[in-house]
């Protein structure tokens, strides 16, 4: 009995080492690029969007090198270039145009509906909108660095907190039909970790952002982004079930594909951008 329990625990934590190693390698790189900002940040977002778009095209049954797949990839590049402008409207127009063009070409391409043209076109918005949000957020000279780092830390801490709490406490499933491995204890752990890390991050950014908002506002902002991140994770799990795959790819050890790793950002980044629009330029998200 004890041996069976030990083996079960070992399986439950089997991918933790790979996840930690991957995170230790990727996180410092991401933070360094965010810190540099400018063209370096835009190039990184463009490359990530193109990488995720490759996985999305394959999930939809369209090879990335086929014409419909190439249109999706070209749309990601055009979106990133357009998002480099001070206003987000040009990028949003490119987003809509890219989605419509993708649908039209996928419909006309030999084998048409078998490549899931609607899903392929929806992917342009699903991937492109967060790309616009992350680029646009960083363009703010006063609050851009703090805001993007805050989003990164919230999504990462929410993911780690949910994983750890879920493995430690288990319990009732959060959405068994979508993702059997996710639990309510994991969701609560992710939320708590995000609030704690978010408060610490806000206090750390105080010297460069002049004002630290009330504790309740920091907690509320962190909680909102954590919930959106977890919903983004659930949405990706739902999509993978619809496509009949376990992982979107195998690019990152312990994490699957890029889409598996960035799913939380796909929901949290647009939410953060909407908060930034409501607050106005030069204002941190939690203020």
Look up residue 232 and give its DSSP letter.
H
* Angle at 202 (CA atoms; ends 199, 203), nearest 5 degrees: 85
Of 73-77, 139-143, 260-264, the least confident: 260-264
Taking the C-alpha atoms of residue 119 and residue 57, their distance in angstroms, rounded to an integer, is: 9
Span 80-132, pLDDT tens digits:
999 998 888 999 999 999 999 999 999 887 755 446 889 999 999 999 999 99
Q: How confident is the model at residue 57 (pLDDT cuts 50, 70, 90)?
A: very high
Taking the C-alpha atoms of residue 220 and residue 232, their distance in angstroms, rounded to an integer, is: 18
Span 182-233, pLDDT tens digits:
899 999 999 999 999 999 999 888 654 445 568 889 999 999 999 999 999 9
Percent of the chain, pLDDT > 70? 84
Q: Let me know: does 23 contact 112? Beta carbons within 8 Å.
A: no
Q: Let me know: does 96 contact 132? Beta carbons within 8 Å.
A: no
Which of 102, 38, 40, 45 minimizes the C-alpha distance to 75? 102
Burial 127-145 (b: 16+ CB within 10 A, else e): bbbbbbbbbbbbbbeebbb
- The predicted structure's pLDDT at residue 191: 96
For residues 236, 239, 244, 250, the Cα torsion angle rounded to the nearest 10 degrees is -30
- The predicted structure's pLDDT at residue 20: 66
Taking the CA atoms of 70, 255, 267 and 84 in sequence, report the sign of the dihedral they define: negative
- What residue spans define the domains of the chain? 37-139, 142-287
Q: Let me know: does 64 contact 58? Beta carbons within 8 Å.
A: yes
- The predicted structure's pLDDT at residue 95: 97
First vs last C-alpha separation in the chain:
53
Span 260-285, pLDDT tens digits:
889 999 999 999 999 999 999 999 99
Q: Residue 260 pairs with which residues in a beta bridge?
A: none
φ, ψ of residue 183 in degrees (nearest 5): -125, 165
- The predicted structure's pLDDT at residue 257: 79
How do 173-175 and 179-183 pair as beta strands? antiparallel
């Amino acid at each position: 009995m004890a041996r069976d329990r030990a083996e079960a625990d070992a399986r439950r934590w089997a991918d933790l080492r790979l996840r930690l190693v991957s995170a230790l390698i990727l996180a410092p790189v991401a933070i360094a690029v965010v810190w540099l900002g400018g063209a370096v940040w835009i190039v990184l977002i463009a490359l990530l969007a193109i990488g995720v778009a490759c996985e999305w095209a394959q999930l939809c049954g369209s090879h990335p090198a086929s014409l419909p797949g190439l249109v999706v990839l070209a749309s990601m590049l055009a979106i990133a270039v357009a998002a480099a402008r001070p206003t987000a409207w040009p990028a949003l127009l490119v987003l809509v145009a890219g989605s419509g063009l993708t649908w039209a070409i996928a419909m006309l391409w030999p084998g048409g509906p078998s490549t899931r043209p609607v899903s392929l076109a929806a992917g342009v918005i699903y991937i492109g909108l967060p790309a616009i949000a992350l680029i646009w957020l960083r363009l703010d000279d006063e609050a851009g660095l703090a805001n993007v780092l805050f989003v990164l830390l919230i999504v990462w801490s929410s993911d780690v907190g949910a994983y750890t709490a879920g493995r430690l406490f288990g319990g009732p499933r959060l959405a068994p039909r979508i993702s059997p491995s996710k639990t309510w204890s994991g969701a609560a752990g992710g939320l708590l970790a995000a609030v704690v890390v978010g408060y610490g991050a806000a206090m750390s950014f105080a010297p460069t952002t002049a004002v630290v908002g009330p504790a309740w506002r920091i907690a509320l902002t962190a909680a909102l982004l954590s919930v959106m991140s977890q919903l983004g994770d659930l949405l990706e799990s739902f999509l993978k079930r619809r496509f009949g795959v376990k992982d979107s790819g195998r690019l990152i050890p312990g994490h699957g594909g890029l889409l598996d790793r960035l799913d939380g950002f796909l929901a949290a980044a647009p939410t953060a951008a909407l908060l930034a629009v409501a607050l106005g330029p030069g204002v941190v998200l939690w203020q």
